[in-house]
Amino acid sequence: MAQIIGLGGVFIKYKNPKDMTKWYSEVLGITTNDYGVLFEFGGENTRKGYLQLSPFESNSDYFGKPEQKAMLNFRVDDLIEFSKLLKTKNVILVDEIETYSYGKFLHIEDPEGNRIQLWEPVDKVFEEGKEAVTLMR
């Protein structure tokens, strides 16, 4: 039977998409292509990872500005060190790093003021099934 097998992409409107693609590459260190960013996830020689799709209330202020309708969440391998790097590149850190059983989180803003969530995951808790419901808002 045909079924959805995962999230294939996130699409966001920007005033200047080419500049934003450049920012993702130069500031966040993400490899870009002609369409933006492409992530390879999992594989034969890597451990399984997880991606969360979370619906939020329309009046939630979690994304920052009310007009922001979507927020990216990027997995990071060392959030403390990455936040230090972002500070040297004058990226706006919206808050302090918060730590939960399923990982560390930090919010930043891109050059157009969109909030982005950075996540250093602890995938083990998902494999054990302990936090799956907790992440839904």
**Residue pLDDT, tens place only, 15-62:** 998 999 999 999 999 888 888 887 777 767 677 777 777 888 888 899
pLDDT digits 0-9 by tens, 59-107: 889 999 999 999 999 989 999 999 999 999 999 999 999 999 889 999 9
Burial 19-57 (b: 16+ CB within 10 A, else e): ebbebbeebbeeebeeebbeeeeeeeeeeeebeeeeeee
Hey, what are 94's tokens? 């919206």
User: For the domain 49-127, what is the CATH code?
Assistant: 3.10.180.10
Q: Residue 43's pLDDT is what? A: 67
* Single pTM value for the model: 0.81
